[in-house]
Amino acid sequence: MEKKVGYAVVGLGVGMLHVDAAALCPDAKLIAVCDLLEDRLDKAKGKYPDVLIYTSFDKMLMNKDIDCISIAVPSYLHAELAVKAMEAKKHVLVEKPIDITVEAAQKIEEARIRTGMKCGVVHQNRNNAVMKPYKEAIEQGALGKIIFGTFEVKWYRNQAYYDNGGWRGTWDKDGGGSLMNQSVHTVDLMQWLMGDVKSVRSIMRIAAHKIETEDLTMSIFEFQNGATASFISTTCAYPGLGTWINVYGEKGSVEVNGSDLETWKIIGDDPSVEKEMKEKYQGTAAAASLDPTKAVGHLSIVQDMIDAVMKDHDPQILPYEAIKSVRIVNAIYESARTGETIYFD
């Protein structure tokens, strides 16, 4: 029988999604978890009795049975741990954002090239079922020339969320607030669907929380292809009102809220097309599938990473692709601080 990929996870907040995914993947063997908090380790051990637990990342790296590690620690530590893991001959999957600065993120890409290890980044929303036909409709010209887009991340977080852990809502550890933490996935989808950014002009506010960073941003983008877009990120929209990913072209419009298709209107289509599309792409990613061949969410990304190791190909999203969203986020912050339009090379 072919050897399974020995899998480990460091950081057991969002990292528990990686743990659960690795346990479900048929080509993986969950070996170990690492965290500084004993209660998190106890919880993982209670759910997976055979898993090894570590409080030292360096000690975990010495385990020769581990082939691949998910890096799910606070964002500012991603590059440090990812580089260390690759230098220890471990493949890595890095949670979003890849890191909080372009410079740190580039260290991950440089380590990937230098060591020859596999490195993927978590932007699992690209795998929401509706995103495949959405992307194809744009690339194949079904919407015609893209005119504009609107992207809105209208989430809610109470003050306790920011107070817990001491790193959320800080510039040096979280890299930002509602934009860098909650909205980087939607930034990724925006540039993936709309194309390369030409410029951005933004404002930001601390509207409803006691934090260093922002809890509200509003931005206007221009793209190299001539299209424009607005982007809103907030954690002030009680009780949490969804994530809108909307693109409008000269021949049609598509609107998606989260993973649900709300509008699919293309000139010349029979009215039944939209009905069929909504029936197919509403609620399809509301719950993670237990079948990795039909995986969504983190399961799809972990399975892709394991496939990359098993079959010796690149993961779905490489560091240099994930760096794009970090560059955009930091350009928004720079524009908001300076009041200037920021132009991209």
53, HSE (Cβ side, Cα atoms, 13 Å): 17
Same domain, 226 and 280: yes
Tokens found for residue 148: 């504009």
Has residue 164 got a pLDDT over 90? no
Quickly tell me which residue has 């979003």 as its tokens. Answer: 96
Range with lowest mean pLDDT among 65-69, 118-122, 139-143, 297-301: 297-301
From the list 91, 95, 80, the residue with the least C-alpha distance to 28 is: 91
> What does the block give as tokens for 338?
């300076």
pTM for this prediction: 0.92
Distances (CA, A) of 66 to 70, 138, 204: 11, 41, 43
Over residues 314-330, mean pLDDT: 97
The 3-state secondary structure of the chain reads CCCCEEEEEECCCCHHHHHHHHHHCCCEEEEEEECCCHHHHHHHHHHCCCCEEECCHHHHHCCCCCCEEEECCCHHHHHHHHHHHHHCCCEEEECCCCCCCHHHHHHHHHHHHHHCCCEEECCHHHHCCCHHHHHHHHHCCCCCCEEEEEEEEECECCHHHHHCCCCCCCCCCCCCCHHHHHCHHHHHHHHHHHCCEEEEEEEEECCCCCCCCCCEEEEEEEECCCCEEEEEEECECCCCCEEEEEEEECCEEEEEECCEEEEEEECCCCHHHHHHHHHHCCCCCCCCCCCHHHCCHHHHHHHHHHHHHHHCCCCCCCHHHHHHHHHHHHHHHHHHHHCCCEECC
Q: Are residues 18 and 37 in the same domain?
A: yes
Q: What's the pLDDT tens digit per position in 210-245?
A: 999 999 999 999 999 999 999 999 999 999 999 999
CB 304 within 8 A of CB 123: no
pLDDT bracket for residue 286 (50, 70, 90): very low
pLDDT of residue 284: 54
pLDDT, averaged across the chain: 94
Residues 171 and 206 in one domain: yes
The pLDDT score that the predictor gives to residue 176 is: 95
When pLDDT is cut at 50, 70 and 90, the band that residue 292 belongs to is very low
Percent of the residues in the chain that have a pLDDT greater than 90, as a whole number:
92
pLDDT confidence band for 3 (50 / 70 / 90):
confident
Question: Do 29 and 169 share a domain, yes or no?
Answer: no
Number of domains present in the structure of the chain = 2
pLDDT at 140: 97
Q: CA–CA distance from 153 to each of 88, 190, 232, 244 (Å)?
A: 38, 12, 6, 7
Single-letter amino acid, residue 102: V
According to the model, what pLDDT value does residue 296 have? 63
Q: Are residues 275 and 313 in the same domain?
A: no
Closest CA to 247 of 116, 139, 107: 139
Confidence of residue 295 (pLDDT cuts 50, 70, 90): low
Clarify whether residues 209 and 312 are in a common domain: no
Q: Assign 283 a pLDDT band (cuts: 50, 70, 90).
A: confident
Is the peptide bond preceding residue 97 cis, with omega within 30 degrees of 0?
Answer: yes
- pLDDT tens-digit map of 197-213: 999 999 999 999 999 99
Assess whether pLDDT exceeds 90 at residue 165: no
CB 51 within 8 A of CB 269: no
* C-alpha–C-alpha distance, residues 24 and 295, integer Å: 10
15-33: per-residue pLDDT in tens?
A: 999 999 999 999 999 999 9
Same domain, 197 and 337: yes
Instruction: Tell me, yes or no, whether 156 and 264 share the same domain.
Output: yes
CATH number for the domain spanning 233: value is 3.30.360.10
- How many CB atoms neighbour CB 46 within 10 A? 9
- Same domain, yes or no: 157 and 252: yes
Q: Are residues 195 and 303 in the same domain?
A: no
- From residue 312, alpha-carbon distances to 71, 112, 279, 305, 307 in Å are 20, 14, 37, 10, 8
Residue 113 has pLDDT above 70, yes or no: yes
Domain containing 294 equals 5-124+290-318
Residue 204: φ, ψ to 5°: -145, 155
For residues 153 and 266, membership in a common domain is answered with yes
CATH code for position 313: 3.40.50.720
Q: Does residue 197 sit in the same domain as residue 103?
A: no
Taking Cα atoms as reference points, which of 20, 5, 126, 3 lies closest to residue 72? Answer: 20
Yes or no: say if 230 and 222 are a contact pair by the CB < 8 Å rule: no
d(C-alpha 276, C-alpha 333), whole Å: 41
